[in-house]
Amino acid sequence: MTATTDPTTSPERSAAPARVLGLCCGATFIAFLDLSVVNIAFPAILDDFPGTAIDTLTWIVSGYTVLFAALLTPAGRIADVLGRREAFLVSLVGFTVASLGCGAAPSVGWLIAARLVQGAMAAGMIPAALGLILATTPRERIPRAVAAWSAAAGFSAVIGPAVGGALLEVFGWRAVFFVNGPFGVLLFVAGIATLPARTGRGTRRLPDPLGTVALAVGVAALVTGLTEGDRWGWGDPRTVGLLVLGVVLVVATWFRSRGHAAPAVDVTVWRDRRYPFANAGLGVLSVAMFAWMLGGPLFTTSIWGWSTMQTAGALSIGAVASMIASLLAGRIAAPRSQVAVAVLGCLGFAGSNAIWASSLFGPDSDFWGGWVPAALLGGGGLGLALTCLSAVAAATVPPQKFAVGIGMTLTTRQLGGAIGAAGLAAIISSSAVPGSVASFHRVYASAAIVSVVAAAVVVGLALAVRRTAAAATPAAGSPSPAPSPAVSPAAGRSVGVSE
């Protein structure tokens, strides 16, 4: 039975929203940081394990990404069933232990295995963390909370090379993993003291085991095929087989979930027209975003000859712009305004990629005339678009399904990111002169086009928002609908608790 909780007595509402936000943003920061921080340490790891095939060693990077993307949706579903606090703390402990295991790895096999566990635990942390934020934050402050969370995630992804480079220079590659240890302990202690005891369990029935496994394997197959496709060859049986397997399993899980009592994919959250449009916008924009983020360090080091630390410092310009834009976007509460700003952000990001594809990014470095305007426009555009789209998606999800809704949204973003990374590699390697200025220009011209497509998808979201608002407005002369018993007027939102 689902009961409405009094906002003054609910364990979720009694938690200090600012403390929960800070705690969950900290966990999100280290989880997303490990998506990018290891890239800079890769050559040093290769030197430490001589004789290891490159194909094997790449799984130190891709293994984390594959498990992270594959388990986000199942982890969100499980967090909503067992409790977000429990899912968050258990995943945080697992992530910390796995990080220490990576740093202490005596062999490549050990390191890859620990990275797989690390990715799985990160997938458990993220949807539970955002679910906790949404469940403990007053409704009117949710856009700002989502903006802060988006800023933490975006900043960690961009600043990863800088953090990795500094740790690598001073302490060596193992410090890239060991640094998570003390942060993990501090976050765990803070979590025990801060997080509410009960965190919005919707049902005590675990999701369909067969569907959950099929979904995880399907997403893992898709991400692996996209990640390895350029290296194996897009016509290679392994690539084709994985992509076909992934599509079949994901589609089969979707149809199985439609009639299952405890589905692996909660298809009900997709019934609101705004949710699929917001997710599609995030997924398409992520294709361009990952190409933009990965291409920048490659261009500056290989074409302009910048050092790792010079590149890291330059990357911080876009990261700071993204953070500021995210926080500003968080002040926007009206859905129509959020969508309009998201369109503006997508077009701004398209403009940044157009600068990258121009003569301003030629063989000679141009920091002030090329890099700075492109970084400010790109980082700012991403901050606006990602924050507003995430806020729209979150607003469509019922409170008792926060974690699963966010899990599916993040899975969509990771799939888009895998396509973007694969596209970057494919375009550069297929150019007449791989790694040339012209090859990078093709990457960024493609990213600009994809960004415009993302803006077009968001225009579709605008129509969905308008229709939803029209449907919610009573016709002239008709009686106003009675307030839903599941919504507390004092709280402005509901917090479902299964008894």
Q: Each residue of 254-297: pLDDT tens digit?
A: 999 888 887 878 788 888 888 999 999 999 999 999 888 878 88
Banded model confidence at residue 423, pLDDT cuts 50, 70, 90: confident
Tell me whether residue 498 is in a domain: no
pLDDT tier, 349 (very low <50, low <70, confident <90, very high otherwise): very high
Per residue in 25-80, pLDDT (tens digit) is: 999 888 888 877 777 777 788 788 887 776 677 788 778 888 888 888 888 888 88
* Cα 456–chain centre separation: 21
The confidence score (pLDDT) of residue 472 equals 64
Residues 98 and 228 in one domain: no
Where b means 16+ CB within 10 Å and e means fewer, 377-398 reads: bbbbbbbbbbbbbbbbbbbbbb
| Tens of pLDDT, residues 143-199 | 788 888 877 877 776 667 677 777 877 888 899 899 899 999 999 999 998 887 765
Q: How many helices (H) and strands (E) does the chain have?
A: 18, 2
Domain end: 238, 263, 288, which one? 263
Residue corresponding to tokens 């469940």: 135
CA distances from 307 to 40, 66, 169, 297, 301 (A): 12, 30, 12, 10, 6
Structure tokens at 134: 């949404």
Single pTM value for the model: 0.78
Determine the structural domain holding residue 101 and report its residue range. Answer: 8-207
Is 234 in the same domain as 360? no
Q: Tell me whether residue 479 is in a domain.
A: no
Contact criterion met (CB below 8 Å) for 181 and 235 = no
Q: What number is the average pLDDT over the span 422-443?
A: 86
Give the per-residue pLDDT at 240. Answer: 94
pLDDT one-digit tens code per residue, 319-333: 889 888 988 988 888
Q: Of the candidates 178, 207, 236, which is a domain's last residue?
A: 207
- 269 neighbors 397 (Cβ within 8 angstroms): yes
The number of folded domains in the chain is 3
Q: What is the CATH number of the domain that holds 397?
A: 1.20.1250.20
Residue 15 binned pLDDT confidence (cut-offs 50, 70, 90) = low
* Residues 247 and 137 both lie in one domain: no
51 token code pair = 């004789």
Per-residue pLDDT at 198: 60
Whether 488 shows a pLDDT value over 50: the answer reads no
Interval 458-470 mean pLDDT: 84
Contacts of 425 (CB under 8 A, 6+ apart): 230, 231
How many whole angstroms separate alpha carbon 471 and alpha carbon 432?
Answer: 54
Distance CA 294, CA 447 (A): 12
**In terms of Cα–Cα distance, which of 251, 263, 260 is closest to 219?**
251
Alpha carbon distance 177, 308 (integer Å): 19
How much is the pLDDT for 92? 96
